[in-house]
Amino acid sequence: MFQSFAVTARPEQGPPRLADLRTELARDGLDGFLVPRADVHQGEYVAPRDERLAWLTGFTGSAGFCVVLADKAGVFIDGRYRTQVKAQVAADYTPVPWPEVSLAAWLTEQLPQGGRVGFDPWLHSAGQIAKTQTDLEGRDITLVRSDNLVDRVWWDQPDPPMNPVKLHPIEFAGESADSKIARLAQSLQDTGCGAAVITLPDSIMWLLNIRGSDIGYNPVAHGFAILHADGRVDLFMAHQKLNVAMADSVTVHAPDTFLTAVAALDGKVQVDLGTLPQAVADVLEGQMVDGGDPCALPKACKNPAEIAGSAEAHLRDAVAVIETLCWLDAQAAGDVTETQVVTRLEENRRKDNALQDISFDTIAGTGPNGAIMHYRVTEETDSLLQDGHILVLDSGGQYLDGTTDITRTIAIGNVGEEEKACFTRVLKGMIAMSMLRWPAGLAGRDIESVARIPLWAAGQDFNHGVGHGVGAYLSVHEGPQRLSKASHEPLLPGMILSNEPGYYREGAFGIRIENLLVVQSAPTLPSGDAERPMLEWRTLTYVPIDRRLVLTDMLTAVERDWLNAYHREVAEKVRPRLGDDAQLWLDAATAPI
């Protein structure tokens, strides 16, 4: 099995660590301290050194933060983690439903007038701090810049990662680093900015056509960059990581010179206030133009080479998943554990020489564990797949030519009618999104409800977005594109997103079905009467959907036709790549309904 990179803490470890942190609070005369799940680069994923939230609280979710006060510690989590957090944190911590309860409102309720709350300005974006300060206006609570109090008491904190960087081949990148730099430098000239500050690791990897391994399951290296409008790039990265020849326009500097270089910039500087650390914003006062990360949209809109590579990676990845499902169906209910499923799937993926890593910790949750959206099996939670269970299997791979992410929900033995009905509603939503055509210019928030309507009709829903962006041998979660109520970013051709509606009944079962899709221009209708440009999806993922969980009578004729056509494509595209046993299994799994 691939190594897990997360820092974990048992619930009983939380209280003494919390006590140590409160000693530091008192020493500094602070009433509170903010502990986010973040690093100085402000990406979604962090290295073990930066897993401060998990170390302090035991909560291992990919989003959230803790506010430590003298007499209370609130762990702020969104809807994805409200089941998980209960099992991971001690009673000394209070889960807070966020964003329903804002940080400012909670602080106002908990703190006396004149409260002082410390924060590490490297671990919060300028946008986050500005919003919180605005929300706190008139409440007599002050945010105070501080060094990191967690680092003071985390005596065995891991060292910063120093893994080597490698070049990303042009046949997979589809465009040279020099071309990307020149293209983005021109956009700075067009807006009158002399430079742009880039802190997100995946943006730097994309721009310079390099990849790293500083963060588990994500092929990125830590560093900062300044892109100049004249076509130069200053890269701030540890020299020991760089054994490769960089583009001619790139100059490498020591990371500890980054702030000095930022302070020396003249004129307007393009930044993304959503990801720019407050510590950097502090030296750019009056110069910042919130124009976003200049790499974000070009990176999101994959070029033909990246799309072709992703499509091929998905077909090879499908072989690993199908071989695993074939093996699983041959096992008797009650004879296999979640860990055995994870191990078998990862072994099958490793047979592909292009695999560099898995793309996240494999989720294999059976029965009640499936209701934990981001469940990760441990020795304590490892469960048998029993008759009547349904298994949520969410996994992916990092291949040289693409990043995959797929979820299938699998019947174990004789599954109840209620579970099948819920599964069929999720499937109907997934099909509806897959078939959608929509006017160009719409954002994820404008269309994501399409995947929820069948569940809504039954008074059901789920607490995560319908889909997230995915990189091209980069992060499995990539912005700015999302199928989410919160996403205002218009969908554009070349963007890859997941389509993953679900349903979760706490203490009982979970369901999720996920394919990756790429946005493309829709062909003109035969009538030629289209009034505006339209977009549609092209499916990248080809693995059977478990027909045993489908209540056929709940599907419309159009939905049945879609499912049968999808399964025909699965058979056509993947069957020739499979072994004999898996071919026979696939024939049965893709038989028409």
Please tell me the CATH code under which domain 11-153 is placed: 3.40.350.10
- Measure the N-to-C terminal CA separation of the chain; round to a whole number of Å: 36
Cβ atoms within 10 Å of 69's Cβ, excluding its own: 19
Domain span(s) for CATH 3.90.230.10 in the chain: 301-589
Q: Taking 50 as the threshold, does the pLDDT of residue 60 lie above it?
A: yes
What crossing angle do the helices spanning 557-574 and 580-589 adopt, rounded to 10°?
170
Q: What is the pLDDT of residue 7?
A: 64
Q: Record the tokens describing residue 45, joined without a space.
A: 């994923």
User: In the predicted model, what is the mean pLDDT of residues 122-150?
Assistant: 95
Q: Taking 70 as the threshold, does the pLDDT of residue 186 lie above it?
A: yes
Q: What percent of the chain has pLDDT over 70?
A: 98
Q: What is the pLDDT of residues 408-450, one digit of tens each?
A: 999 999 999 999 999 999 999 999 999 999 999 999 999 999 9
Nearest CA to 357 out of 322, 409, 404, 308 is that of 404
Question: Please, are residues 149 and 24 in contact by the beta-carbon 8 Å criterion?
Answer: yes
Q: Record the tokens describing residue 465, joined without a space.
A: 């977005």
Domain span(s) for CATH 3.40.350.10 in the chain: 11-153, 166-295
E strand map for 89-129: 93-97, 115-119
Q: What is the pLDDT of residue 5?
A: 52
Q: What's the fold here for domain 166-295?
A: Creatine Amidinohydrolase; Chain A, domain 1 (3.40.350)
H-type helices in 467-579, by residue range? 557-574
Q: What is the pLDDT of residues 475-488, one digit of tens each?
A: 999 999 999 999 99
Q: How far apart, in whole angstroms, are the C-alpha atoms of residue 157 and residue 136?
A: 33
Q: What is the pLDDT of residue 528?
A: 65
Q: Taking 50 as the threshold, does the pLDDT of residue 1 lie above it?
A: no
Nearest CA to 434 out of 364, 500, 370 is that of 500
Q: Return the half-sphere exposure (C-beta side, CA atoms, 13 A cut-off) of residue 531.
A: 2
Q: Taking 70 as the threshold, does the pLDDT of residue 3 lie above it?
A: no
Question: What is the CATH class of 301-589?
Answer: alpha beta
Q: What is the pLDDT of residue 91?
A: 87
Q: Taking 80 as the threshold, does the pLDDT of residue 249 lie above it?
A: yes
Q: How far apart, in whole angstroms, are the C-alpha atoms of residue 215 and residue 471?
A: 15
Q: What is the pLDDT of residues 367-411, one digit of tens each?
A: 999 999 989 999 999 999 999 999 999 999 999 999 999 999 999
Q: What is the pLDDT of residue 124?
A: 97
Helix (H) or strand (E) holding 161: none
